[in-house]
Structure 1
Amino acid sequence: MLKKLFNIKSGEGLPTLILFIYFFAFVALGITGSAARDAYFLNMVDRDYLPLMFLAVAIVLTLTIDIYNRLSKNRDLIHTTTVSCLVFALSLVFIQNNLKGWVIYFLYVWIEVIILIIITQFWILAADVFNPRQAKRLFSLLGAGGALGSIIIGSSINYFVSLFGSENLLFVTIGFLGVVILMANLIRPYRNINELKIQSTKKDEKQQSDKLFSPYLKSLAVIIGLAAIASVIIDYQFKMTAVAVFPNQDDLVSFFGKYYAITGIVRIIIDLYITSRVLSRFGILIAILILPISIMIGSVGFLLSPILATVFLSKLSDQVFKFTFHNASIQLFWIPVKRAIKTKLKPIIEGSIRAGLQGITGVLIFIAVTIFNIPIHYLSLSIVLIIIFWIIKSFPLKRLYVDALQSAIEKRQLNFEELTLDIQDQTMVKTIETALNNADDSQQIFALDIIKDIPLSPWKRSLNRLLNEGNVTVKKEILNISVNDKNIIDDQQIIDLIETDKELDIDAITIAGKRGLNNAESAINKHLQDSEIEKQIIAAAALNIIDPDSSKVAKKLLIDALQSTDEKLISLAINQLSFDNEILSDDTLIHYLNDSSFVIRNAALFVAETRRAPKFLPEIIYSLADSRSAIPARTALTAYNEQDVINILIKYAQDSTARKSLVIGIIRTLKNYPTEQSIGIILSKVNPKTPSIQTEAVDALIHIARETPLKEKDIIITKDELINTARYVYEIIIALSQIEDSNDNQLLRYFLQNEVRKLIPVIMKLGIMDKPETQIETYIQYVQNNESDKLSYVIEFFENIFSKYEREIVNSLIDSISIEEKCLVARKRFDKLMTDLNQFLGYYITSSQELKVALTLDYALRSNNQKILNNINWETLPESFVIKEIITRHLQKHSDSLKTLPINQYLLD
């Protein structure tokens, strides 16, 4: 019952209880230690030095944090917590027995050290135990442990003081340090540390030091610092006003106890019932703004009416909201930070930096009040200015938080810088020269690829050497890049290769044809009688280019090749006749563009790209339907007028009779033409009822958005389609919940589950169209593979970029909740929802997808469900073997129930 009340899931109960007690003990020791310290200081020494104690705290905390980091580095955190708490306990025993003089000043500072170290250790341990999704649910509950501690301990201080005196309060603090040690050791089995411990050298640390304080952490440090400054001023105003009203030490301690009890009551209500709801419903930005706004209201009140009641309200706001909304938000801000960086910087930011700012603030207060005699309520003016800056800085922090979440869950990608070459750059020339002279063939090929589109003259000597000495692959690549450059490979070299090199003769013949080398005719003619038919065709094509009227034998070879039944010969001849409209006319080329062989079709596409005749466009576009020809077809289209291509692509995409494969091919092509027209047609194809087309359309939109951001009106459409697709997925889930989980229904259930699995990535992609830089493919892998350690980060990311409505319906699909819970979300969030199984499967049985129809038909016949069967259009029902087998099988078992159905044409012999 308690688990349900506090939204604690299976396996979370015991670690939550341990950390709840842990935080209770921390707050208890903080209250008792702070109450004792403040009472001793304000009554036993000169209270005018209070602002300077803030400076002393800052200096000591800075040194302590540095010492703590050095001592705890590469050590187990729980062991460190145990040792540090023992040191704190022993030191407090000494202080308790020597409460006079400098010891009181030391105690004031030392309590701050104890609180800082313990709270830092606690939140790091809590982050090790709970992931971000759990943290958002449970951190507020842990905070309630602290609030409960405030109530119980605060209200008990007066009773304790009346029995034992305020001078013995530190013994209670020591007792709670023992509870902290116990809880820290009990939580050990529940820690989940996935990061590898990497031993780094001092040199490595120095190189990385500048990278630790990212813009995100700098913004976070600013918010923490501003909160600290405001808190110091309010704390000073509160304590000075309180001691003026309660000059007696025991009365002052009792007042502090009542104050902590009241703050505890308010905090526990907020922690248990409000914090998590605010974070989940309104997001982290609203939660982080509550503290500064409430402080501003209280400070304005104290400025206008400087009495204990108004400063109490200001201090209450600081104490309550700092440890509820603000603290929960700050811990969420730390979640995306790498544990190694968090361990190093969290104590610095929340310790040294915060304490340093508090110290500076203390000095400024001392100067303002002691030297310039400024009334303490005027200090509230500075708080108002701080709050304004605080609110302004909170907005970019939210954006950086989303970026940090992305960084925490994405794979790191290698970013290759663009390589540009300047042949006047002698360093670059020498670098390429070195690669060409490398004994590694792959290095030579790489160098040749780099220089293929620039003048080759600086490397003429090396290229000729490789043409003589390199391996065949290197030689062929050299010939390929120097086809039209006679200064690198001269004509005579080409003729020599034709006559003497059997490995390169085909390449050399092709170059001779392209160069129109009349001197090579005799050498090429010899290859017309070659034993290899491929060489004959290439030689014939070269001669046909050099002198079309010189050889009837060459023409006959080419014509015979085109008329053969060998697809390889036909494609070879087509490739060789790119510019020959006599042998390979445009009409003949169109015939080959429609050929059933993709090998022939691809060769024809190459020629169509070369000729660039608009009459080829329909045939090129039809080739997009075959994945084996899609790439050559898209390449061919790049040679044509862009607007002509877009117009005809849209025309065929809008054809209701177009094959699904053609529509998919067109969508894949349209993403390379990101005009308003093409984006509009792609958006029109985002329909969950045609999942394969929808998937391609969404992928195309992401591709376009990553190049050029989509317009706001297009983003709105994608958001609407996200909702429509999510509705359809929930309808599938509701249908699944109504289909009995039995062996007979196994295939249908698996099919429906697979439909959900395919549509969830589509929904995730639709959700980030306004943030296309998101590496959503990585997130999808985490969800599809059910990687629970990363899934929580994905959901947390979506919670910060989606609207409240979107994140509930999307995250409920992704999250590991039961099918019943998902159905409840669906019924709660959608007004129009198909919840009737017969209606849903009635739609399925009219689908054009054969497997969907077959599985639904089998289910309807087995259950004799007339409502589903009545939806069948027997004229369009596929006459496939599977359908016939299902109907025949059921007829043999239940002939009576099928007598009224027109099934004769669907019966197997």
Structure 2
Amino acid sequence: MQLYLFLIIGALLVVKPTINALFLSTAGADSLSIAFILTAIIAVVISFSYHKLLERFNLRYIIKSTLWIFSAAFFIIGLLVMFEVTNLFLVYAFYLFVGIYALLVTSQFWVLANVIFNIREAKRLFGFIGAGGIAGGIAGGYVTSILVPFTGNGALIILASLMIACCPYIYQRIKSHSYKGKMKLEFKKRESVSKEPSIKLIFNSRHLTHLAGVIGIGVLVAKLVDYEFSYLASQQIADPMELASFFGFWFSTFNIISLILQLLITKRLLENFNIETNLFFLPAAVITCALLLFVMPELWLVIILKGFDGSLKQSLHKSALELLAIPIPSDIKNKTKTFIDVVVDSVATGLAGLVIIFVVKGLNLPNHIITASIAILSIFWIYLIFKVKDSYLSIFKQSIVKREKLRKEKNNVGTLIGNMKIIFENGGTEDILLMLQKLPEISHSSLRDPVLQLLNHENNKVVTAVINNLDYVINEPVAQVQDFIYTDDSELINAAMNYLLSHEHISYQFYENYLDDEDDMIATAALLALAAISQENPLLAEKYNLKLRIELFSSEIGDQNMQIAELARLIETLGYAATTNYYSIIDNYLNHNNKTLRIAAIKATGHTKDVYFLNTLLEGLIDDELKKSIISSIQKMGNKSLKIISQIYSRKKTENDFRKKLLHVLYHIKTKKSHRLIIQLTHRSDISVKKRAFELLFKSRIDGGKSILKKKELIRFIDKESAKYKELVRLYWSLKISQRSDKRTNGVISLLEKNTIEQLITNVDQCISDQLEIIFNLLSQRYNPEDVYVAYKGMISKETVSRLHSMEYLNGILSRDLKNMLFPLFELESHTLSSETFEFQERIQLYDRSKMLEKLLLIQEKKVHSLSIKLLDLQGEHLITSILSHLPTSKALEIKNILLSKDNGKTKTA
């Protein structure tokens, strides 16, 4: 690839200064603008024909044919120049032909490079490959400068023809090397070409549109810079031979600078800086020189300006631009890239010609106008660079979403409302209940009548759900609701009472009637509803003598004739009493055998907002039927509950499963303190527990919660978790090597030991996966959680393309310090390393057996710890003693006791 690029660019730099000098001496510098416009027209015509050929013929055939055509054409041009068969028409033809060659052949080369290399390979190799092109430019320029006085222009053009003639053979070698074995299908897929018109594809893609804009503005600026350079040079150097030598010297010098940049700087900049930063350097340098030209319009300053354009454009800027095309789907890229490189480049060249003709010459304006145009266009160039960066990252994100099937269909509100109406009228109970849950987010007036009709539904669950959601579709009170107070369904009565009391302005007497109703079922329901609403409106409590009513009803709690539903309401109502006098009653029912009464007592504890009941509530978390009510009650206690939860979590005897339940409670408290406590508590927890903690924090961010970590805290946490990740990877591969070993120095490995190692490998691998998820969930504390989720799914994908796109996506969104910290870690991702080829040995330092066991015993994961002790127990006494001596004293003592208890167990069994 490097030799291929060396030859085509070397040939270009042989013919370009030669033809440029011939053109300037024959047609004059004033004709450059016309040549620019003609180049644009010819390029557009050729491009459309070229893309028609792409649809009919194989990409490989077209590339080889193009090389042979240009080689033959330059040979003929060389002969014509050598025998001085030239005129104004032929000079224009030669100039246009060189321009088309420069656009088409180089574009074909980079299309081929995009077919062969993926994004990671491109970042690593494009700088090296590009150095071949720069070296070709240097060689071509100096060959022209040195040989032109001796051989003449014609012989040099023939030399360029021969250089191009070598390229088809090199291409054949590249093809045969790249299309081996199982890579063949992938490369055939990469060579596919879309049937859609190029313009349509470009305008349908935000990224391609921005890319075309960046290239077009860059070319327009470059042509204006080239005009200033050529114009001032031709004004001061009249002799064609001397002018050709001048151009040859400076073009080669610019290429030497490019080569130095490409070999020493480009690769590092591409790997360490974002794409927009690398693209930014060239327009920034051009703007600086353009501003200086206003003050000092000298040839040496124009040479510097051209130097920046000629060196950066062919090194760093060129490599960065080619990277922008990598993530575009192959069939679209193969169709559009050459179109952009040729047509957009040529149209921009034509625009430059029009600017020179009509602005400078037509209006007879000074050369400062060109300089001002260069500066203004460069500012717009920078703007487009930042736009193309966003679309570039978006391509990677969309690729991961598509490959990993992460896309969620966007809800069409109109369609959803229509479906809701149909389901409300004809749907089953479960479907209706599901649609009623969506009323708070839809809340559309057109649903008013269908929802009201559901008040006549035969299922009380549906009617209860309707009453609970009536206010989302109807503003005024619905009188029909009061009819449901006289049903025998406790939940429906409660819903009706809550609704009626929330519309208290209906009538004072209206509520008095229900609170004093002879039916205690209705009276207790009204009392509970009044107590709940009075928390937000204390005047209601005073208005209806709430305190006295609670006292009167509480005296009846021991009545054996009281129904369960009625008693449950009274117990829950006691929680609103704002006095500790009823705590003993609530406490008694917290452990009642009847679940309905127990849940009522749990709800009452939440209404008190008093941590007095917290220990009892937390003990009930083991019952899944009670968990929802318990969490709801603790949530109402807020930050007051944190100290007790922290103490219970930190007890050594607390099981991991219960710790996860406590974390769930902390998450639902939903305060900054409770979420920060999640991080603090899991600092020294098992990996599986910590994973659950950060899953909850990630969920909080997805639901719109704010970040609870500052940047420095985040970096500190990620640094620690990254170190643990690397440690796990080292242990994983050390275990894999140990698994392959058949013997120890002290004898043959037992089957039990092999099985234990195998189990350890499985569990450590799971720890690695969990640890990676922890790191990504930490990232969601600073970055958009949806973006982080997409990157994570790409990173753990089995598809190489998804993993590569994930890394490139992260490269665009992460800060530099986090990239430096995380990217070496991502390279260790166990799914990406081949154990068969021992690729891991290049990146991972393995532990010896003793150190491996020592490190395994320190891993904070219960299953790994227990298996590690089991493996230790199978070792010789001397090795056990040595390993324990390197562990912290408390840990060594704990393990000794476990080993002793095992030995005692074996003795008793014997």
TM-score normalised by length of structure 2:
0.73
1:741 counterpart letter in structure 2: S
Where does residue 812 of structure 1 map in the other structure? 824
Distance between the aligned counterparts of 2:269 and 2:634, measured in 1? Answer: 54
Q: Which residue of 1 aligns with 2:158?
A: 171
Offset at residue 628 of structure 1 (A): 7.3
Q: Deviations over 1:180-212 (max 9, x none)?
A: 44445543626647689798889x997x87542
Match of 2:407 among 413, 437, 456: 413
Q: Partners of 1:587 and 1:200 in 2: how far apart? A: 79
- Following superposition, the deviation at residue 342 of structure 1 comes to 3.6
Deviation at 1:721, TM superposition (A): 0.6
Percent sequence identity is 18
Contact 1:123 1:331 in 2 (8 A): yes
Query: 3, 22, 26: which is aligned to 1:44?
Result: 26
The one-letter amino acid paired with 1:263 is F
Cα-to-partner distance string for 1:784-813 (whole Å, 9 max, x where unaligned): 344212211222223333344432442222
1:680 aligns with 2:676: yes
| Counterparts of 1:710 and 1:508, CA distance in 2 | 41
Asked if the contact 1:28–1:153 (Cα under 8 Å) also holds between the matched residues in 2, the reply is yes
Q: Equivalent of 1:145, from 129, 132, 138?
A: 132
- Counterpart of 2:7, as a letter, is A
Counterparts of 1:77-88 in structure 2 under 5 Å?
Answer: 77-88=59-70
**Separation in 2, partners of 1:193, 1:645:** 63
Which of the numbers 576, 579, 584 marks the counterpart of 2:569? Answer: 579
In structure 2, the partner of 1:797 is 809
Alignment partner, residue 524 of structure 1: none
In structure 1, runs of 5+ residues without a counterpart are 1-18, 422-426, 468-474, 496-506, 517-539, 560-572, 828-833, 889-902
The CA deviation string for residues 638-662 of structure 1, in whole angstroms up to 9 with x for no partner, is 6x35555667656655667654333
Query: Cα 1:702–1:362, aligned 2, differ >3 Å: closer, same or farther?
Result: same
Aligned to 2:112: 125
Segment of structure 1 superposing worse, 680-689 or 584-593? 584-593
The yes-or-no answer on 1:608 pairing with 2:619 is no
Give the deviation of 1:228 after TM superposition: 1.9
Question: In the alignment, what sits opposite 1:660?
Answer: 656
Matched, 1:157 2:144: yes
What's the CA shift for 1:269? Answer: 2.9
Query: What SS does the aligned partner of 2:785 have?
Result: coil
1:812 touches 1:822 (CA, 8 Å); kept in 2? no
Residue 869 of structure 1 aligns with an amino acid whose one-letter code is L
C-alpha change, 1:219 and 1:751, in structure 2 (3 Å) is same
Q: Which residue of 1 aligns with 2:687?
A: 691
Mapped contact 2:191–2:334 kept (Cα < 8 A)? no
1: CA distance, partners of 2:64 / 2:124: 28
User: Which residue in the other structure is 1:700 paired with?
Assistant: 696
Q: 1:146 Cα deviation (Å)?
A: 0.3
* Matching residue within 788, 791, 801 for 1:776: 788
Note if 1:364 corresponds to 2:355.
yes
Q: After superposition, what is the alpha-carbon deviation per residue over 1:443-496, rounded to whole angstroms, capped at 9, x for unaligned?
A: 7776666679999873489769985xxxxxxx576555468999889979999x
Question: Which of residues 131, 136, 158 in structure 1 aligns to 2:123?
Answer: 136
Inter-partner Cα distance in structure 1 for 2:767 and 2:25: 73
> How much does 1:684 deviate?
1.7
Report if the CA contact (8 A) 2:464-2:491 is conserved.
no
Amino acid at match of 2:134: A
> Which deviations, in whole Å up to 9, do the C-alpha atoms of 1:683-733 show, x marking residues without a partner?
324537631232123223323334457458523212211001111222344
Q: Distance in 2 between matches of 1:489 and 1:157?
A: 96
1:719-748 CA distances to partner (integer Å, 9 max, x unpaired)?
A: 211001111222344455666523544444
- Structure number with higher helix proportion: 2
Q: Which amino acid aligns with 2:87?
A: K
Structure 2 counterpart SS, 1:337: coil
1:868 to 877, 883, 889: 883
Give the counterpart of 1:852 among 852, 856, 864: 864
Q: Quote the Cα distance in structure 2 between the aligned partners of 1:74 and 1:447.
A: 53
In the alignment, structure 2 segments of 5+ residues that lack a partner are: 471-477, 498-519, 527-552, 575-581, 741-753
State the alpha-carbon separation in 2 of the partners of residues 255 and 649 from structure 1: 81
SS, match of residue 414 in structure 1: coil
Tell me the equivalent position of 1:498. none
CA contact 1:593–1:601 (8 Å) conserved in 2: no
| SS of structure 2 residue aligned to 1:671 | helix
Question: For the residues of structure 2 that align with 1:311 and 1:513, how far apart are their CA atoms?
Answer: 85
Q: How far apart, in 2, do the equivalents of 1:906 and 1:727 lie?
A: 41
Q: Find out whether 1:111 has 2:98 as its counterpart.
A: yes
Q: Which amino acid aligns with 2:154?
A: E
Partner SS, residue 69 of structure 1: helix
Task: State the partner residue of 2:222.
Answer: 231
Q: How far is 1:770 from its partner?
A: 1.8
Give the conservation status (yes or no) of the 8 Å contact 1:510–1:542: no
In structure 2, what is the Cα distance between the partners aligned to 1:169 and 1:370? 34
Superposed CA deviations along residues 143-162 of structure 1, whole A, max 9, x for unmatched, are 01101211332233356545
Q: CA 1:583 to 1:150, structure 2 compared with 1: closer, same or farther past 3 Å?
A: closer
Does residue 725 of structure 1 match 2:716? no
Offset at 1:328?
1.1
TM-score, structure 1 as length reference: 0.73
Q: Does the 8 Å CA contact 1:283/1:799 hold for their aligned counterparts?
A: yes
1:741 partner SS: helix
CA distance in 2, matches of 1:233, 1:297: 15
After superposition, residues 627-646 of structure 1 pair within 5 angstroms as 630-631=627-628, 633-635=630-632, 637=634, 640=636, 642=638
3-state DSSP of counterpart to 2:739: coil
Which residue among 293, 308, 314 is the counterpart of 1:323? Answer: 314
Change (3 A) 1:576 1:79: farther
Go from structure 1 to structure 2 and tell me whether the alpha carbon gap of 1:801 and 1:381 turns closer, same or farther (over 3 Å shift): same
Contact 2:233 2:299 in 1 (8 A): yes
For the 8 Å contact 1:731–1:835, the answer to whether it is kept is no
Task: Give runs of aligned pairs for residues 615-630 of structure 1, distance below 5 A.
Answer: 616-624=613-621, 630=627
Rate the CA distance shift 1:113–1:256 in 2: closer, same or farther, 3 A: same
Amino acid at match of 1:722: I
Task: Give yes or no for contact 2:225–2:305 (8 Å, CA) kept in 1.
Answer: yes
Kindly tell me: are residues 603 and 811 of structure 1, through their superposed partners in 2, closer, same or farther at Cα, counting changes over 3 Å?
Answer: farther
Aligned to 1:62: 44
Give the Cα separation in 1 of the matches to 2:163 and 2:491.
89
